[in-house]
Amino acid sequence: MSSNFRRLLDHSSTAAVRGRIAAAVGVVALMAAVLTGTAAVGTAGAAPVGASSHVSAAASGHASAGARPAIGGWTCAGTPIPAGYVLTGFIRSGCNGAGAWNQQPVRDGIWTCAGSPIVSGYVITGYLSAGCSGIGAWYHQLAKNGLWTCAGSPIVAGYVTVNYNRSLCNGIGAWVQTTARAGLWTCPGSPVPAGFRSTSYLPGGCGGQGAWLLQRR
């Protein structure tokens, strides 16, 4: 198959998938204004991470500068997020109306607010549009073979995507990630790790999106 023909196939088979990825990434991008304090969204509450006690603390103290811990905990909008931390709760009325965010160390199996950093080695495997006081929440897990990952999730180095289901992750779509090996049929847009190449094309592969056969160089 010529390289030009393959590029044409790639373009047509990935167009619909890219639209769904763009929609999911757009949700995260829109939250950037919230994180920098230039917008205020959401209502008093917390992401589904068992953060009711955190909500009480922030509501009573308003996450004021004098009461904030040195690292993590409830912080005002615009506070830098330490490396290895994620955002797990949002209170619209915190910080005297500027909004307060709960910063916690990342761990395998944690719900985070839209706009939270995604720590290296983690993927997104769940989505709740009403989570984190209505701004949306994402479930973070350590990457491992066979996980269904939501649209917009990072693909960890050395992994490829091998299947697609548009109904998962609350309708935004999900891909299966697994470590690369020869003989896998990979989805459109999947990375091709060093030492591998894509060869044959299967129109009905990857949940109907089309698939490419991964082989060693």
Cα distance between residue 186 and residue 213, in whole Å: 6
Indicate if the pLDDT at residue 5 is higher than 60.
Answer: no
140: helix, strand or coil: strand
Tell which residue, 152, 154, 141, 133, has the closest CA to residue 34.
133
Per-residue pLDDT, averaged over 161-173, amounts to 97
Write down the pLDDT at residue 104: 98
Cβ neighbours around 79 below 10 Å, total: 18
- Asked if residue 22 belongs to a domain, the reply is yes
Percent of the chain predicted with pLDDT > 90: 67
Task: Give the range of the structural domain holding residue 75, as residue numbers without chain letter.
Answer: 3-157+166-176
Q: What's the total number of domains in the chain?
A: 1
Cα distance between residue 183 and residue 186, in whole Å: 9
- Asked if residue 206 belongs to a domain, the reply is no
- Asked if residue 42 belongs to a domain, the reply is yes
Lowest mean pLDDT among 67-81, 153-167, 170-184: 67-81
Per-residue pLDDT, averaged over 67-91, amounts to 88
Structure tokens at 116: 């939270």
* pTM flag (> 0.85): no
109: helix, strand or coil: coil
- Asked if residue 212 belongs to a domain, the reply is no
Write down the pLDDT at residue 12: 44
190-213 per-position pLDDT tens digit: 999 999 999 999 999 999 999 999
- Asked if residue 92 belongs to a domain, the reply is yes
Higher-pLDDT residue of 167 and 70 is: 167
Q: Would you put residue 210 in left (φ > 0), alpha (ψ -120 to 50) or beta? A: left
- Asked if residue 125 belongs to a domain, the reply is yes
Write down the pLDDT at residue 31: 41
| Average of per-residue pLDDT values in the chain | 78
Per-residue pLDDT, averaged over 149-153, amounts to 96
Indicate if the pLDDT at residue 94 is higher than 80.
Answer: yes
Indicate if the pLDDT at residue 36 is higher than 60.
Answer: no
Asked whether the beta carbons of 115 and 103 are under 8 A apart, the reply is no
- Asked if residue 88 belongs to a domain, the reply is yes
Q: How confident is the model at residue 70 (pLDDT cuts 50, 70, 90)?
A: low
Indicate if the pLDDT at residue 133 is higher than 80.
Answer: yes
- Asked if residue 105 belongs to a domain, the reply is yes
In whole angstroms, how far apart are CA 197 and each of 79, 208, 217? 43, 21, 6
Tell which residue, 155, 91, 153, 159, has the closest CA to residue 125.
153
